[in-house]
Structure 1
Amino acid sequence: MTLQEKIGQMTQAERSAVTSDPTQITGLGLGSVLSGGGSTPTPNTPSAWADMVDGFQKQALATRLHIPLLYGIDSVHGDNNLLGATIFPQNIGMGATRDPALVREEEHVTATETRATGPQWVFAACDCVVRDDRWGRTYESFGEDPKLVEEMETSIDGFQGTSPGDLARPDHVLATSKHFAGDGDTAYGSSTTGTYTLDQGVDITDWSHFSRIDLAPYVTAVQDHHVGAIMPSYSSVDWTEDGVGNPVKMSANKQLLTNVLKEKIGFKGFLISDWQAIEQLPGDYATQVRTAVNAGLDMFMEPYNAAQFEQTLISEVQAGRVPMSRIDDAVSRILRAKFELGLFEHPYTDRRNIGTIGSPAHRAVARRAAAESQVLLKNADHALPLKPSQKIYVAGGNADDIGNQAGGWTLTWQGSSGDTIPGTTILKGIEQDDPNVTFSEDASKPMNGYDVGVVVIGETPYAEGVGDVGNGHTLDLSATDQATVDKVCGAIRTCVVLDVAGRPQIITGELPKTDAFVASWLPGSEGEGVADVLFGKRPFTGKLPVSWPRSESQEPINVGDPHYDPLFPYGYGLTTRAVSH
């Protein structure tokens, strides 16, 4: 391979860039293309996806060495960019299930639906350990305890399989463990710009804490599950032992990326940078590229800057500032993944499973996941399960909004409220079990004569730092939600509240007004799963994957802290028995 061909393999561009300039793939010898959140073909259908990826692949195969393209996508709770895909609960809800086998099954469904439409690589699963619920990515974590995260790394097995040759099958994809390491453990505070810096912030730590909390899941991801790719975090690490106060961005951290991850832990896959991550490093662009390559990054997500990246890295190698051995190591890791995926033998999309996308069998898995993710926090006088004979009044902004119950990373990066994806809202699930239902979103309809009030409150969609508390977000319930709870629980004898949110909200003042309270998290496209536990078709078995604070000022709060006094402790969750009607 020539130097240009090698560096081409290390380069990843965004689909919109190569769509607008189709000569890029062949001309630059690109090794990979990705779809960012919401970057989809038109129409957004399975066949259009497969046709698009195959068109890009044809261009890659027109290069001198005919090296196939690797296509990456954010399938973080299902193939969530595809309209009609099965959408699962976000990871925080899957952590609540305490069911590693179900997590493996979920990700196998996701892998099957993703690869049937062309992409062979997913930027999932998130093996971060969330230590502060004010973080906008809290819902992407399985929980606050690294041991829980490690247990849920069956996600990697669901994506990749566990036997030699599995990656080449049409129901598996290459997985990415992210974001290495410590992105869920950053310090909360405002920057000079006035924005809060939990996301992409600084992990102020010592080696003992870092290795026990932040690093531990990546050891098992590599050594036990053989994850194929790892994405370093935007965040920085600042070691308190040296007292210097000199945070180092993960993309520049050779100690962690090379010395620890590749050499000590034994990672044999490749490292992919996050979206334009190297451009956050100090110095001019040549310095940023040189620093990141020498630190150990192998492939570079430079969505709109592929040509400049390649020319810059060529110049750095020719000038002797990046050794050829580093380039050869990176390219070897990337090509190994392509061989294991079977792309040299079968570069084009195997569409045999395209008819299973959003199928009843796949949605049944998501429905069970939604049911198992529900955590019952209060159940006075056995208010739950509900009975189909009861006359039920349903209220709240999240009762009949499938966009809200899916959350961020659903069709678009930030997600959106409304009728965005196929599926069943929580209200529609309840109505399937009980015909005696009245719905009033703002609780304005009369409430006389009802046996039970069900209020579905919570958050609206967000993703990443946009959702950080301090950036227009709070853990407090909205005034509208508080008013709805007050109205319904003050008027109807039995009152059940469901909190549809990506993290714990402050309910200390509202909880005494309720008879039953459920942490519903972000249950995805199958609202029937929530109704299944409300009516006792399935038992409540979920356990809190994070500690539930009494007030926002308690954050960060984690099990094992001195003076630990949450409203509900990590692992809490009442159980019920399934009943027959």
Structure 2
Amino acid sequence: MNARLSSPPRAALMLSVALAGIAAASCTPGSQIGSTAQNAGPARAGGAGAFAPYDAQARRLLAQMTLAEKIGQMTQADHEFIKDPADVQRYFLGSVLSGGSSDPASGNNPRDWEGMYTNYQRIAVGTRLKIPLLYGVDAVHGHNNVLGAVVFPHNIGLGATRNPQLVQRIGQITADEVRATGPNWAFAPCICVPRDERWGRTYEGFSEDPQLVSTLGEAAVRGLQGRSLNDPLTVLASSKHFAGDGATSMGTGGPDKRFLDQGDARMDEATLRRIHIFPYKAAVDAGVGSIMPSYNSWNGVKVSGIRYLLTDVLKGELGFGGFLISDYRAVDQIDPDYKTAIEKSINAGMDMVMVPDRYPEFIRLLTELVNENRVPMSRIDDAVVRILRVKIAMGLMDPSWTPQPDAAARSRFGSAEHRAVARQAVRESMVLLKNDRGALPIRSGLRRIHVAGRSADNLGFQTGGWTVDWQGKSGEVMPGGTTVLAAIRKAAGSGTQVTFAQNGTGAAGADLGVVVIGEPPYAEGQGDRADLSLDPADAASVAAMKAAGIPVVVVLISGRPMILGPVLEQADALVAAWLPGTEGDGVADVLFGAYKPTGKLSYSWPASMAQIPINVGDADYRPLFPFGFGLTY
């Protein structure tokens, strides 16, 4: 760690935007920090105050613990790599996760998850102190790992809704479906501020604007955690990734030389605070119980090892009273020597470490570091107290606690009620970018509608990454979902013939063409792209439809703004549908006029690759469609 970051640079701090007065610091002119508290449920003491009532009980429990039990609480293993479930007792593990593709061995339905979860908890409470586990899942747009769950639009779409009440409701439903299967911790919401659309995690961010991210991120925390963390229908939230993950520079990736992901955010402290730390104040004030530091570096130093950011700023200035959980194997990247990496991260303020497969080694090395006085016992105790306070707040130490999922929640899993909210989210997220000659809404009484495009009848493309598999996949990935093509057929009614050819051929004689184009699914790392031009096959399907001489409506399914090229001119109407999830009926609601489009761009839309990165507030700001743009009928 360089000298500048090993101790707080107080002079720089005074010159930067003070977090106490950060409310007016958003990059959007005239914006101020928003609170959804008046619209998003009851007020709750935030910051350290949210967990202070549980401090005395946590410290009484801490006083009974051995070093092995303490370090066990700081360790999170992945179910995929736990060869023997008895390891939960053997190592006194405090947490287990299921990564993006880490399903129960018995299958991937709610009952399988319940069985796996309750078995792990049964083993955990068999330890001397009977401390239950935190079980974490990447429920980032619904309980997206589990077959039959309702999958909501990714955050980029929710940003276009500008609706914190809806985002809070989505958080509540996500928590309900997660708890229906057992787990009690969601690695969400992502409150990154993506500033370069080439980054493969752009769709995980609500917006390029820190104010909008702050408002919706706060709503998501309140939805997931509810009125009280000890409510059995809520989950622990984890705001991520602190801080600067959306600002990495080209060609500065991690050990595997990734293009943007896990790279270096090169900026001064004032900019880091104004844009990328900004949303965390609202999350902390909302009482978020865990925060995940980022893989990325800040000016060449891995954030997960920077004490100034994790301890002085986040825990000190912002008053965060929960605990920090590292990202998946993130600590490994801090130093080539694993033991030294652990030392740096724990001393920087990391409280729990996600070590999916190396947990025995991690526990052994951290124990050595304490015995060698390289990690002080006071830092271990602080980390464990933070974890225990959250567990106590969640009711895990109550005599009446049970690992069994709530029966009512189980009955609501994937329900029509939940799907109706997802459908609303799809409707409100859609942004109408072009509508010439009244192409939309689709009028009733048409004889034939011809549909084309790779994304028209592909639920995997529609839901995107983090859906059943980490990177997502093509095809019918989620039972109960409705593709855009199926939704169009329902909305058109029996009097209108709906034909389909993926490549756009066969359109001659149709009254209207609808081409659904976009990106195949991807997630972090693999989603980084140097060129955001549309796929040639998609462009060809639009051109083929246009050649038939009929009005053409283009629906774009994507995780970011794309370079439209000639498609913009060929389309009579163009709608950005983002990654809408399982409820394709919401797309049809807008196309057929049952719902007038209200979505507004939460990202600036570039005209060419030469403009990227482009963000509202740039000195030379000439996007194809500006931040906040959106037509209606």
TM-score interval, normalised by the smaller of the two chains: over 0.9
Q: Give yes or no for contact 1:116–1:170 (8 Å, CA) kept in 2.
A: no
- Measure, in 2, the Cα distance between the counterparts of 1:14 and 1:190: 28
**Is the partner of 2:149 in helix, strand or coil?**
coil
Among candidates 341, 348, 356, match of residue 403 of structure 2 = 348
Aligned to 1:330: 383
Q: Give yes or no for contact 2:505–2:545 (8 Å, CA) kept in 1.
A: no
Q: Give yes or no for contact 2:503–2:544 (8 Å, CA) kept in 1.
A: no
Among candidates 440, 445, 450, match of residue 389 of structure 1 = 445
Q: Give yes or no for contact 1:74–1:123 (8 Å, CA) kept in 2.
A: yes
**Is the partner of 1:385 in helix, strand or coil?**
coil
Aligned to 1:544: 601
Aligned to 1:80: 144
- Measure, in 2, the Cα distance between the counterparts of 1:192 and 1:251: 13
Residues 259 and 190 of structure 1, relative CA distance in 2, 3 Å threshold? closer
Aligned to 1:160: 225
* Pair 1:99-2:163 in alignment: yes
Aligned to 2:94: 31
Q: Give yes or no for contact 1:388–1:433 (8 Å, CA) kept in 2.
A: no
How far did 1:208 drift? Answer: 1.5
Query: Amino acid of the residue matched to residue 442 of structure 2?
Result: L
* Pair 1:469-2:529 in alignment: yes
How far did 1:516 drift? Answer: 0.3
- Measure, in 2, the Cα distance between the counterparts of 1:70 and 1:326: 21
- Measure, in 2, the Cα distance between the counterparts of 1:561 and 1:316: 47
How far did 1:351 drift? Answer: 2.7
* Pair 1:498-2:555 in alignment: yes
* Pair 1:189-2:228 in alignment: no
- Measure, in 2, the Cα distance between the counterparts of 1:477 and 1:283: 39
**Is the partner of 2:457 in helix, strand or coil?**
coil
* Pair 1:430-2:483 in alignment: no
- Measure, in 2, the Cα distance between the counterparts of 1:339 and 1:347: 14
* Pair 1:268-2:268 in alignment: no
- Measure, in 1, the Cα distance between the counterparts of 2:233 and 2:85: 29
- Measure, in 2, the Cα distance between the counterparts of 1:349 and 1:80: 21
Among candidates 151, 171, 179, match of residue 215 of structure 2 = 151
**Is the partner of 2:437 in helix, strand or coil?**
helix
| Consecutive unaligned residues in structure 1, runs of 5 or more | 239-246, 577-581
* Pair 1:291-2:344 in alignment: yes
**Is the partner of 1:152 in helix, strand or coil?**
helix
Aligned to 2:36: none
- Measure, in 1, the Cα distance between the counterparts of 2:79 and 2:253: 33
Aligned to 1:357: 413
Among candidates 577, 580, 583, match of residue 520 of structure 1 = 577
Aligned to 2:293: 232
* Pair 1:507-2:564 in alignment: yes
- Measure, in 2, the Cα distance between the counterparts of 1:568 and 1:309: 49
Cα deviation code 1:214-250 (max 9, x no counterpart)? 1100111112x11110000000001xxxxxxxx1101
- Measure, in 2, the Cα distance between the counterparts of 1:421 and 1:376: 27
Residues 249 and 193 of structure 1, relative CA distance in 2, 3 Å threshold? closer
**Is the partner of 1:519 in helix, strand or coil?**
strand
Cα deviation code 1:427-462 (max 9, x no counterpart)? 1110001142111111232x2221111000000000
How far did 1:318 drift? Answer: 1.0
* Pair 1:375-2:431 in alignment: yes
Among candidates 471, 486, 489, match of residue 414 of structure 1 = 471
How far did 1:562 drift? Answer: 1.0
How far did 1:193 drift? Answer: 8.4
Q: Give yes or no for contact 1:279–1:288 (8 Å, CA) kept in 2.
A: yes
State the percentage of identical aligned residues: 52
Residues 192 and 151 of structure 1, relative CA distance in 2, 3 Å threshold? closer
Aligned to 2:67: 3
How far did 1:145 drift? Answer: 0.2
Query: Amino acid of the residue matched to residue 148 of structure 1?
Result: L
Aligned to 1:244: none
How far did 1:169 drift? Answer: 1.5
Q: Give yes or no for contact 1:183–1:235 (8 Å, CA) kept in 2.
A: yes
Query: Amino acid of the residue matched to residue 490 of structure 2?
Result: Q
Aligned to 1:366: 422
Larger deviation: 544-553 or 520-529? 544-553
Among candidates 449, 452, 456, match of residue 399 of structure 1 = 456
How far did 1:47 drift? Answer: 1.3
How far did 1:350 drift? Answer: 2.6
Among candidates 64, 67, 70, match of residue 128 of structure 2 = 64
How far did 1:194 drift? Answer: 8.8
Aligned to 2:43: none
How far did 1:510 drift? Answer: 1.7
Aligned to 1:21: 84
- Measure, in 2, the Cα distance between the counterparts of 1:82 and 1:514: 37
Q: Give yes or no for contact 2:253–2:264 (8 Å, CA) kept in 1.
A: no
Number of aligned residue pairs: give it: 559
How far did 1:381 drift? Answer: 1.6
How far did 1:191 drift? Answer: 6.3
* Pair 1:43-2:146 in alignment: no
| Consecutive unaligned residues in structure 2, runs of 5 or more | 1-64
How far did 1:385 drift? Answer: 0.5
1:98-117 matches, within 5 Å, as 98-117=162-181
Query: Amino acid of the residue matched to residue 86 of structure 2?
Result: T
Aligned to 2:284: 222
**Is the partner of 2:291 in helix, strand or coil?**
strand
How far did 1:337 drift? Answer: 1.0
* Pair 1:212-2:269 in alignment: no
Aligned to 2:310: 257
Q: Give yes or no for contact 1:68–1:347 (8 Å, CA) kept in 2.
A: no
Q: Give yes or no for contact 1:183–1:203 (8 Å, CA) kept in 2.
A: yes
- Measure, in 1, the Cα distance between the counterparts of 2:222 and 2:252: 39
- Measure, in 1, the Cα distance between the counterparts of 2:256 and 2:174: 39
Q: Give yes or no for contact 1:272–1:298 (8 Å, CA) kept in 2.
A: yes
- Measure, in 2, the Cα distance between the counterparts of 1:28 and 1:192: 30
Query: Amino acid of the residue matched to residue 628 of structure 2?
Result: G
Q: Give yes or no for contact 1:262–1:268 (8 Å, CA) kept in 2.
A: yes
How far did 1:382 drift? Answer: 1.6
Cα deviation code 1:98-117 (max 9, x no counterpart)? 11111001111000000111
1:126-145 matches, within 5 Å, as 126-145=190-209
Q: Give yes or no for contact 2:189–2:221 (8 Å, CA) kept in 1.
A: yes
How far did 1:195 drift? Answer: 4.1
- Measure, in 2, the Cα distance between the counterparts of 1:87 and 1:283: 39
Q: Give yes or no for contact 1:415–1:462 (8 Å, CA) kept in 2.
A: yes
Q: Give yes or no for contact 1:508–1:567 (8 Å, CA) kept in 2.
A: no
Larger deviation: 282-291 or 214-223? 282-291
- Measure, in 1, the Cα distance between the counterparts of 2:338 and 2:346: 12
Aligned to 1:121: 185
Larger deviation: 125-134 or 348-357? 348-357
Among candidates 518, 535, 542, match of residue 485 of structure 1 = 542
RMSD of aligned alpha carbons? 1.2
**Is the partner of 1:466 in helix, strand or coil?**
coil
Among candidates 149, 163, 173, match of residue 235 of structure 2 = 173
- Measure, in 1, the Cα distance between the counterparts of 2:411 and 2:195: 40
Query: Amino acid of the residue matched to residue 244 of structure 2?
Result: G
- Measure, in 2, the Cα distance between the counterparts of 1:464 and 1:397: 22
